[in-house]
């Protein structure tokens, strides 16, 4: 069988398939039926300092080849996350990436600091790109990205991923995050979108716009990962957006991702997501590829078959 384990300077993952922040919640419901050893890491729903209720309903609607969501960072706050959620997810046989966000650099620093002594927090992921909350989409300004990443870096010794959205200026934002101390990047968050009920003429989501996820955004996420890999040949990259099949995951790896995040797929068919690593192994075996690392970034080298 081909090797699918992934190793970075900051940590190892049993498989390249990770559950993206949000759709898997805290993984507890999935853990009743599915084997987390098939997953490289669980990324938690984003945690803020204080609890948040999120946006009003309706906050999720269908979209062609995906869904549009406007959940708005609903979460129990970092204190309850530590006392109620961590004891459960610490037991899962996978790595844990805890996603954090805040309205200021000071807040994200506080959240990271509160998690510093917490066993089982393997990585932090700083969500700099939620399309569904006002005042927190800081990822369109490199100076703000630097400030937030520095605040987390000062408060935490954990390996840190900075999560950015697709779009213009990605390389400058990624550069700001990496220079400020991020150990890697997660690309991409959901892409801003809108749907309208033609019988009423009103937006379908209570907050009008939301984040588009699912196969509709796969080419957008692939381009972001490709662009980041070209600019930062050594960076650790989590490619997220539109992956639902093992074939999609291979594409994401070839674009330059070290790990592949899956969000929408978890809502559509969680069992299929937990089978993706096996599908990847089969894909590699069928082509005589001994190690998944051989396909990572292949699109930058003229293809994985090139000696
Ligand atoms: C219902 C839902 C909730 C989400 N919540 C979060 C979140 O709390 N934090 C975050 O960083 N991303 C969140 N995301 C974005 C996903 O992590 C992911 O970046 C995006 O959906 C693209 O991947 P996908 O096409 O595989 O879903 C959410 C996505 C969905 C669909």
CA of 23 to the centre of ligand 1 (A): 6
- CATH tag for 6-55+72-192+213-300 (out of 1.10.1060.10, 1.10.150.120, 3.30.390.10, 3.20.20.70): 3.20.20.70
State the burial class of residue 103 (Cβ atoms within 10 Å of its Cβ: 0-12, 13-18, 19+). Answer: middle
CA of 258 to the centre of ligand 1 (A): 19
Is ligand 1 within 6 A of the CB of residue 45? yes
Nearest CA to ligand 1 atom 6: 22
Collapse the DSSP code of 274 into the 3-class scheme (helix H, G, I; strand E, B; otherwise coil) and give the result: helix
The CA-atom distances, in angstroms, between 267 and each of 55, 67, 214, 242, 263 are 19, 10, 10, 12, 7
Choosing from 28, 65, 130, 213, the catalytic residue is: 130
Model confidence at 130, pLDDT cuts 50, 70, 90, reads confident
The fraction of the chain above a pLDDT of 90, given in percent, is 92
pLDDT in tens, 214-273: 999 999 999 999 999 999 999 999 999 999 999 999 999 999 999 999 999 999 999 999
Contacts of 176 (CB under 8 A, 6+ apart): 142, 143, 145, 146, 149
Q: Taking 80 as the threshold, does the pLDDT of residue 84 lie above it? A: yes
Whether residue 152 contacts residue 112, with contact meaning beta carbons closer than 8 Å, is answered with yes
Task: Note the helical H segments in 134-275.
Answer: 142-155, 170-179, 218-231, 246-255, 264-268, 270-274
pLDDT in tens, 149-194: 999 999 999 999 999 999 889 999 999 999 999 999 999 999 999 9
Is ligand 1 within 6 A of the CB of residue 127? yes
Is ligand 1 within 6 A of the CB of residue 150? no
Is ligand 1 within 6 A of the CB of residue 240? yes
> Which among 22, 71, 160 is the best mutation to test ligand 1's pocket, defined by most ligand atoms within 8 Å of the CB?
22
Nearest CA-CA partner of 121 in 87, 145, 147, 149? 87
pLDDT for res 138: 65
pLDDT for res 307: 60
Q: Taking 80 as the threshold, does the pLDDT of residue 57 lie above it? A: yes
Global pTM value? 0.97
pLDDT for res 177: 97
pLDDT in tens, 267-302: 999 999 999 999 999 999 999 999 999 999 999 999
Whether residue 161 contacts residue 122, with contact meaning beta carbons closer than 8 Å, is answered with no
pLDDT in tens, 198-207: 999 999 999 9
Is ligand 1 within 6 A of the CB of residue 161? no
Nearest CA to ligand 1 atom 12: 21
Model confidence at 305, pLDDT cuts 50, 70, 90, reads confident
Convert 154-184 to b/e letters by CB count within 10 Å (16 or more is b). Answer: ebbebbbbbbbbbeeebeebbbbbbebebbb
Q: What is the residue-averaged pLDDT of the chain? A: 95
User: Domain limits of the chain?
Assistant: 6-55+72-192+213-300
Whether residue 190 contacts residue 212, with contact meaning beta carbons closer than 8 Å, is answered with yes
Q: Is 130 noted as a catalytic residue in this protein?
A: yes
């Amino acid at each position: 069988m081909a090797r699918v384990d992934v190793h970075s300077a900051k940590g190892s993952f049993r498989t390249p398939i990770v559950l993206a922040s949000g759709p898997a919640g805290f993984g507890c419901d999935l853990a009743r039926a599915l084997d987390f050893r098939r997953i490289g890491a669980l990324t938690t729903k984003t945690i803020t300092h204080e609890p948040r209720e999120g946006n009003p309903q309706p906050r999720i609607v269908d979209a062609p080849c995906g869904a549009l969501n406007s959940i708005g960072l609903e979460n129990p706050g970092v204190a309850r996350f530590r006392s109620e959620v961590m004891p459960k997810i610490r037991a899962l046989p996978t790595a844990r990436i805890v996603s954090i966000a805040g309205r200021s650099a000071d807040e994200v620093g506080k959240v990271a600091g509160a998690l510093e002594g917490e066993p089982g927090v393997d990585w932090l992921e700083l969500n700099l790109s939620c399309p569904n909350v006002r005042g927190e989409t800081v990822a369109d300004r490199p100076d703000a990205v630097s400030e937030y990443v520095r605040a987390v870096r000062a408060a935490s010794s954990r390996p840190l991923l900075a999560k950015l959205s697709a779009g213009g200026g990605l390389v400058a934002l990624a550069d700001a995050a990496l220079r400020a101390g991020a150990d890697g990047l997660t690309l991409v968050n959901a892409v801003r979108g809108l749907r309208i009920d033609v019988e009423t003429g009103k937006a379908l989501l209570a907050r009008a716009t939301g984040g588009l996820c699912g196969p509709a955004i796969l080419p957008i996420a692939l381009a972001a990962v490709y662009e980041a890999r070209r600019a930062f040949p050594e960076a650790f990259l989590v490619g997220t957006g539109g992956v639902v099949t093992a074939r999609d995951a291979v594409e994401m790896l070839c674009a330059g991702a070290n790990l592949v995040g899956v969000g929408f797929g978890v809502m559509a068919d969680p069992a299929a997501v937990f089978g993706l690593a096996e599908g990847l192994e089969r894909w590699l075996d069928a082509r005589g590829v001994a190690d998944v690392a051989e396909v990572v970034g292949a699109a930058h080298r003229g293809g994985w078959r090139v000696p």
